[in-house]
A and B are shown apart, each in its own frame.
Chain A
């Protein structure tokens, strides 16, 4: 009954392009995001942040600020006791939310104020006197490993390794040295990628309200309101059940809203002031003090035989984690060679600390960087071998039965189909002109499952409320409504999907790892099936026949068998109307861990034109081919492909954090942190492949992340084909391209 195995069924409504339930509110301005909620008596919360990349905090004198008329609370780390119980991850979160003995990066919060209005709050910040003792800083991932580099987190330093080197994750199998010895051609290169930000248009925002009895409410923009609740409650010593967190509509997350940044401080201010506190980050604060992705520095070596068989591949990539450790290197090591079947492969991801903000996940975290290096190197290898780059990839492609680099053996996967679709795509035959070039690259990302609950309630008129706990980041409510309608056999329009707050459902893991539709979809299917069991029982009661004689088809209960077969069917609406007399409200709910998530592969094609005078790269044409398992709502699957590709294009061409000698971020605004605008991009063509995930009843694979992985490599390859220079550093901004062109001429 709760068997998650893929059934291969035909669908009535799943796969159709319906209107999403939250669309109307979003086009009329009625939808409420993090900063759109207010409460009577609310205070404005603002943060004082370190102007130094690394400094000891000797003293904080907030007395003048506290005395200012209109200031209701001031918080420093002195107000935040360590309640983490030795959990180092939670302690990192505590220290990142507010500096304790040291400021660890430019923008690190050192104090918070809550005042009656913004003007007063700003005045109060100016009145807080912080005595800093500047310390040497390091912001570059390679410099952080120099002998004389300042140590960012002494408590993480270990015997026998550099104080800023947290750990190395090594993956792969076979005998690397033997493999390279057998190779006829070897390409060995080093690459770097700059730090980027998820760039969600909505800054972090929340409205916190804590009462003296220890209960509290938080309205917040987040990808995971349950995770936020748990973290905030733990950090503040509140009972988890007493903190009710409601997720607002979210204006973009991409991994950056899976982690608390200033929410615990807003709650602490509210508790101290005994009034609601609204806290909204400015764009500059978002850049400086939320969670951008890692910058990297890597070495890639790939060797092949003359016939194109890749016999050995090695990657070592140093991931800049910011001031607190994460598992970024591990994820890079796991994904580096995932698209290929290479007998001897080794991928090492290294985690390094720097005086930069705490890195958070960014759509397929850590994969795009390694893919840049691997896909660029494979292309160079294809040139040395005189082989077509798509054919070289196909020759070495991973298939069902291939040993994945991070251990398990692949089940049915989509990388070969996507490469074949690329090879056969008309885009590959479009003509190219002067200074124009084409590039191809592959990408991989896992999906995750996680804890999920869904609640399906049938109203007295037969319309259905579906309550789920996974925040809807991009339109999943439509897909989940389709799934409920499919299972029940009713019209999509009769289902209304909502995201429940933390007091309405059991724990739900965060919407990340492309798990939203996969996990809540699975929970919805089983919740609906339980509701159908109840509906059948009720029909049996209404007919006064045994329950075994009732089946459910096309949204109605049917009496079967020779004895009862001529009873006219009872629709869901008929049964719902009589629910009061047959046992009460009809519902189905499902709590589970949705394991068995599939993986999603993609191959991309890009045409570029490089202007040799300005170094500017224009994207002429872009095609995404990705495996979705089963596209519940094709419009939104395409949307994920296109959006992810656009982020990858920005990363490849223009986006990077620029730090000065003083360790301060120089471009914390959209003017100079240049994300793609409408005129920068062409239409992005998409092709959805469906190789069903055997561990989901509908075959669903999570699709949100994978397509940010190929663009860096694809564009690097296209630029190389356009103007004959190989780019080893991302972003391939105009100054870098011009430098490479100058170098080539010399």
Chain B
């Protein structure tokens, strides 16, 4: 299943800690980087899209634990839990919200983002 996730600006830091918990290493702190997307109200989002397993979805909604690789306590688990608390998971597209980490299933990432009410931030003109 392809999951497309919209992370609002205010949740980027927390969202990247959450991504590290679900991912494989410190590089997953770069999951939500550029605020390339916006909703109709102009709220900005960093987005990611990836193919995930059912295990991933289950893990994202279960009690979080520090991954084995994080021996240096890089992950702020409180931040990860805040992001998890803000997680909205849907098998169909729902509108992205500026205080939620919205994850929607859909084969076409761009189509899913459009259905979530997001459009690309235009170049600075």
Q: Do A and B interact with each other, yes or no?
A: no
